[in-house]
Amino acid sequence: MTTTAEPTTTELGKARTRKEDARLITGRTRFTDSITPHGTLHLHVVRSPIAHATITSVDKSAAEASPGVIGVFTAADLGVEAVGLPCAWPITPDMKAPQRPLLASSTVHFAGEGVVVVVARTAAEARDAGDLVEIDYDALEPVLDMEAALAEGATLVHPDLGTNENATWVFDSGAAGTGASVDEAIAAAEADPDSIVLRRRFRQQRLIPAFMEPRSCVVDPTGEQITVWAATQVPHILRTMTTVTLGVPESKLRVIAPDVGGGFGGKIGVLPEEMLCVAIAQRLGKPVKWTETRSESLLAAHHGRDQIQDLTITAKKDGTVTGLDVHLLADMGAYLGLVGPGVPILGAFMFNAIYKIPALKFTCTNVFTTKTLTDAYRGAGRPEATFGIERIMDELAVELGRDPMDLRKQNWITHEEFPFTTVVGLTYDSGNYEQATDQAMATFDYAGLRREQEERRARGDKVQLGIGISTFTEMCGLAPSRVLGSLAYGAGGWEAASIRMLATGKVEVITGASAHGQGHETAFSQIVADQLGVPFEDVEILHGDTQISPKGLDTYGSRSLVVGGIAIVKAAEKVVAKAKKLAAHLLEASEDDIEFNAGQFTVRGTDKGKAIQELAFAAFMAHDYPEDMEPSLDSDAVYDPENFSFPHGTHLAAMEIDTETGKVSLRRYVCVDDIGNVVNPLIVEGQVHGGLAQGIAQALFEEANYDDQGTLVNGTFVDYTLPSAADLPSFESSTVSTPATSNPLGVKGVGEAGTIASTPAIVNGVIDALRHLGVTNVEMPTTSQRVWRAIQEAKGNSTQETPIDTHSPGAGLGSIDPNNPQGEVQ
Amino acid sequence: MAQVRVTVDGVNYADDVEPRMLLVQYLRERLGKTGTVVGCDTSNCGACTVHLNGQSVKSCSVLAVQADGAEVLTIEGLARDGELHPVQKAFNECHGLQCGYCTPGMIMAAVDLLGDNPDPDETEVREGIEGNLCRCTGYQNIVRSVQRAAQMMKPGASVPTESPAPVAGGN
C-alpha cells in the first residue's frame, strides 16, 4: 500500500524534467487573472498622465452614471488618505521617507500614479467609466535629473522633506577595520610615480522588469478569512504588510500566490492596487479583481537599476590594485519601494568582487525624482556593482597596457586562499576562479579570437571584433538574519519547511519559498527523495498559500534553494530521527543499532527492517509506538543561514560591430559558472540562459526613457523592446563545481548569476571592438545609434543631438527620431 | 450585441457578444478557456496565440465576431485523447518553459510554424517565433524544443520521449 516506484538515492544532479510542466503546457493553469469568484467586481485605476502636479478638481459624476458602475472613489471617499505603503528597509536612522498613498490626494508625484479607482460589474465597464473621470491638474516642475535634484534651490518632489535626498549610506573599510583607508590609498597613489589613479563615470540606465504575466489581485471578503490571490513573489510578506498597512488582523488574511508568471524582483512589492482591492472588497462585501494592462505595468510597476557611478581605482603600475572609491547616485523615483532604498546598498559588498582590493569606500546617495519608483530587479544592487568593477578593470588594463584577463588574474583571490575574508568583511567560503576561467577561455578560444581581432584591426575591416570579459561573483541566498539586522532590514532571512508523512506513503513538503517559474516543485522533490529515500514521484511540494504554508519569507535574492532547500533538509533529518526511534521500537532493537539507507531502516547485522512508508503507516495507526514519542513522523524546521553563498563564473562575449552603421551583433557567448553542487542541471541551464538574456538586454536593448516633462515615452511592448528569439544567439554555458561549505548540500544560488555577469561582458566587448578607433565609452543600451555616434565623435564628426535615444525610431508613441521624424525606412 | 457561432476545441458554441469583444476575452471570460492568457495590449507578446481555422493568430487582435463560423484551437484542445502533442512533449523534455505564462502562445505558434516548415533550422525557428516574447528562458531551450518536436513529427519518427511527471488530475 505504500510505494509506487523503486526508491532512488541519486536524485541530486539528475536532469529531471519538471513536474510543474504538465499543467503549464496544457493550459491547466491558475494564474490570478483566471480566478473569478462568483459576483466579482472589477477595479480600474485612473492614473495621472502628468509627472508632477497639483490636483485641482475631480469630477466623478459622468463616470458614476456610466453603465455597470458600482462606485467611483478617491482616497478621501475610501477614508484611506492617511494610509501609507510600507518601506521595510530604513537604510539610515534618519532616512527621509515620504508616505506613499494608495491614491494621490492633493499632488501627483509621477506619471502613472493612481488618483481615482472605478469599481464596475465588468473590467470593460470599469475602463469605460475611467475615461469619463475628469481630473484637473496644475502642473508643477518635474524633477528628473539626479544631480540637478540635489543642487541648491532644486524643485522638491516632497517639499515637506526639505530635500530630494533620501539618504546617504557609507561603508569605509578603513573606518570599519575590515581594510585600509581609500583616502590614504588615493593620496599614496597620487604621490607615487609608480602608481596610477583612474577615474571613470558609468551609468546604469533605468530598466523595467517586464515579467510576462501582468500584475493582478483578487480579493474575496466572504467567509471568515479575507482571501487574497495575488501575482506576487512574496505572499507571506504581503500578508504581514497588509496587516501593517490596513490593520486587518494577520490571522484574518489568507494570501495565495497561485501560478505566478515571472517576477524578477518586479513582484516583490506591496502594491497600492492590492491594498485598494482589500479595502474595497471589505467596503462592498463582494469579491473584487484588479488586473493591469501591459502599458499600466510598464508605467506604474516598479522599475529597476538607474544609477550614476563615479569610480576611482588606484593601482601600482605593475597591475596590483590598491584601492577603490565608489560614489553612487541612485534614483528612487517618487517614493520608496518595499526594499528600494536598500537595493543599491547591496552593491556595497560586491564592488570588490573577486579581487583582493585592500581599501574600499562606498558612498551611495539615494535621490527622489518625479519618476516611477525603483526597487529590486534581478540581481538587485549586484549587477550594478559587477558592471562598475568589471568595466573599470578593463579600463585599468588599457591604461597599463595589459591583457584584461591577465590583470584580473593578478588581482583575484586564488583557490588556495579560501575561505577568504574580503575588504568589506564578507567571508567567501569557497571558489576556484582559475578553474572556471581556464575552461571558459579554452571553450572560447580566447587566444585565437585575440589573433583574429588583431588581423581585422590591421586590415581595417568594416566589421570589427571585440572581446568582452566578466569574471564575477555575487552574494546570494538572502540572508543570515543577523546580517540583515545589522543593515536595518525589516525582516529576517530564514526560511521554513514542513514535511508530512501521509498514511499512504506519499510525502507532502511545505515550503515558505514561493516559486514563480523556478521549478521548486521539481528540485525540492529531488532533495526530499534523496533525504528520505522515497520515490521522486511520491513527493508533493506545497507552497504559496499562507493557510497551507503558514510561515515563510518567499522567493528573491537567489535564496530558495540555499535557504529554503536547506530548511527542507533540516525537516527531513527530523523525520528520519523520529522514524528511527519508531523503527527501533517496532523491530525490538536499540536505536543505536538502526541504520538508515535509501528509505530502509534496518537492524545492523540482520535482514530485519522497515521501509519509511511502513513507519509512516505505523505512526498513523498508532497502535504500537514508544511511550516517549508522539505518534507522528511529521516535522518542521526553520533554517537561518550562517553565511551567503558566493557563486562565481567567467563570462566571455565575442562582439561584432559594423563600424559604418553601428550595428552590434553578439557572435558568441561562453560562460562557465561555479554554483557548487547542482541539484538539477536542466533547471540550472535554464536559469543561466534566462539570466543571460536579461543581462544582455540591459547591455544592448532596454531602457525606460522619459521626456523632459517626465513622461515615460516607451511605455508599451512596441517600444520597450524585450529581446525576441531572433535577437539572441544560442549561448555556450557550462558549470564547474566548488561546493559551498556553508550548507549541507554544498549548493549556491543560480537565479541571478547570468544577469549579474553578462552585462559588463557585453559592454566590455563593444568597447573593445571600438577602442582602437578612439572610443572609450558607450552608454547602455549600446544601440546602433549610440555606437555610431561614438564612432563619429571619436573621428571628430558632429552628429545631431537626439533628445531621447530610443533605438526603434518611429516604432511607437514618443520614439520619434528628429533625424527621421516620419520614421521612414532608409 | 452580435451573434457568434464558433467551434472551440471541438465544441460548438453560439453566443451573443458585444461587437468590440476580443476573441481572447470571449475565450477566457465567456467560455472559461483560461489556458489562453493575455500578456500585453499592443499585440507584441503573443501569449494569447491560438489557431483560427488552422492558422496561428494573436487572439487579442481578432474580434470575437470575426471568428464567426470558424474553428478555434486553443492550448486546452491541443492534446488528443490524453496524448500530448509532440510540441507539448518537447517543451517538457527540453525545458522550454519556466514560469509558463508565454507557453500556451509559444506552443501554438510553434505548432503552426512546424506546419509551414516541418524541418526548420535554428535561424528559421528564431525568426518563426519572433512574435512571441518570453522573459524567462532566453529562448535557447524553446528553440531546442521546436526542433526536437520537428524530429518527433517526422513521418515514421521514433524519437524516444519521456512523459511529463504525473500530477493530481493530470493527463
> CA of A212: which chain B residue's CA is closest?
B39
Question: A155 exposed, middle or buried (CB, 10 Å; 0-12, 13-18, 19+)?
Answer: middle
Q: Give per-residue burial for B128-151: e unless 16+ CB within 10 Å, then b.
A: bbebbbbbbbbbbbbbbbbbbbbe
Give percent above pLDDT 70 in chain A. 96
- Interchain pair A22, B125: CB under 8 A: no
- A251's torsion region: left (phi>0), alpha (psi -120 to 50) or beta? alpha
In the beta sheet, which residues pair with residue B7? B12, B71
- Interchain pair A31, B79: CB under 8 A: no
Residues in A closer than 8 angstroms to B81, CB to CB, are none
Report helix, strand or coil for A353: coil
Taking a C-beta distance cutoff of 8 angstroms, is the pair A96, A16 a contact?
Answer: no
Domains observed in chain B: 2-77 (3.10.20.30), 86-153 (1.10.150.120)
Question: A50 exposed, middle or buried (CB, 10 Å; 0-12, 13-18, 19+)?
Answer: buried
Taking a C-beta distance cutoff of 8 angstroms, is the pair A103, A114 a contact?
Answer: yes
In the beta sheet, which residues pair with residue A331? A367
Contact B34/A at CB under 8 A: yes
**Does ipTM exceed 0.85?**
yes
Contact A37/B at CB under 8 A: no
Q: If we measure between CA atoms, which residue out of A683, A624, A651, A616 comes closest to residue A764?
A: A651
Say what the pLDDT of residue A803 is: 54
Say what the pLDDT of residue A807 is: 46
Question: How many A/B residue pairs have CB atoms within 8 Å?
Answer: 201
Say what the pLDDT of residue A794 is: 95
- The grid cell for A652 is 566571455
Helix (H), strand (E) at residue A575 = helix A566-586
- Alpha-carbon distance A151 to A329, whole Å? 13
Taking a C-beta distance cutoff of 8 angstroms, is the pair A563, A274 a contact?
Answer: no
- Alpha-carbon distance A267 to A112, whole Å? 17
CA-CA-CA-CA dihedral for A212, A215, A218, A219, to nearest 10? 150
Residue A462: CB atoms within 10 Å:
11
- Alpha-carbon distance B48 to B50, whole Å? 6
Q: If we measure between CA atoms, which residue out of A22, A35, A34 comes closest to residue A521?
A: A22
- Alpha-carbon distance A239 to A12, whole Å? 34
Average pLDDT, chain A: 95
Contact A232/B at CB under 8 A: no
Which residue in the block uniquely carries the three cell numbers 513527493? A539
Amino acid at B68: D
- Interchain pair A693, B139: CB under 8 A: yes
Which residue in the block uniquely carries the three cell numbers 545609434? A785
- Interchain pair A717, B103: CB under 8 A: no
Q: How many CA atoms lie within 13 A of A137 on its CB side?
A: 20
In this predicted model, what pLDDT tens digit does every residue of A358-412 receive, in sequence order?
A: 999 999 999 999 999 999 999 999 999 999 999 999 999 999 999 999 999 999 9
In this predicted model, what pLDDT tens digit does every residue of A733-770 receive, in sequence order?
A: 999 999 999 999 999 999 999 999 999 999 999 999 99
- Alpha-carbon distance A584 to A590, whole Å? 6
Q: If we measure between CA atoms, which residue out of A769, A799, A801, A798 comes closest to residue A782?
A: A769
* Overall residue count recorded for chain A in this entry: 826
C-alpha to C-alpha distances, A221 to A39, A99, A236, A238, A800, nearest whole angstrom: 12, 27, 18, 16, 58
Residues in A closer than 8 angstroms to B165, CB to CB, are 16-19, 21-22, 522, 536-537
Say what the pLDDT of residue A205 is: 98
- Alpha-carbon distance A166 to A143, whole Å? 14
- Which portions of chain B are predicted below pLDDT 70? 158-171
- Alpha-carbon distance B25 to B31, whole Å? 9
Mean per-residue pLDDT, A146-162: 98
Contact B138/A at CB under 8 A: yes
- Interchain pair A34, B34: CB under 8 A: yes
With cut-offs at 50, 70 and 90, classify the pLDDT of residue A262: very high
Q: Would the pLDDT of A821 be above 50?
A: no
Give percent above pLDDT 90 in chain A. 95
Q: Which of residues 83-122 of B touch A (CB under 8 A)?
A: 84, 88, 91-93, 95, 97-104, 107, 122
Q: If we measure between CA atoms, which residue out of A444, A820, A510, A817 comes closest to residue A649?
A: A444
In this predicted model, what pLDDT tens digit does every residue of B94-103 receive, in sequence order?
A: 999 999 999 9
List the strands of the sheet with A107-108, edge to edge.
Answer: A107-108, A53-59, A134-139
Domains observed in chain A: 21-28+494-635 (3.30.365.10), 32-140+214-260+267-300 (3.90.1170.50), 429-476+640-811 (3.30.365.10)
pTM of the model: 0.95
Say what the pLDDT of residue A815 is: 39
In this predicted model, what pLDDT tens digit does every residue of A480-499 receive, in sequence order?
A: 999 999 999 999 999 999 99
C-alpha to C-alpha distances, A287 to A36, A239, A546, nearest whole angstrom: 8, 17, 19
With cut-offs at 50, 70 and 90, classify the pLDDT of residue A800: confident
- Alpha-carbon distance A730 to A791, whole Å? 28
C-alpha to C-alpha distances, A433 to A670, A756, B162, nearest whole angstrom: 15, 16, 37
Say what the pLDDT of residue A799 is: 80
- The grid cell for A129 is 467609466
Say what the pLDDT of residue A603 is: 97
Taking a C-beta distance cutoff of 8 angstroms, is the pair A629, A578 a contact?
Answer: yes
Q: What is the DSSP code (8-state) at residue A538?
A: G
Which residue in the block uniquely carries the three cell numbers 469579491? A287
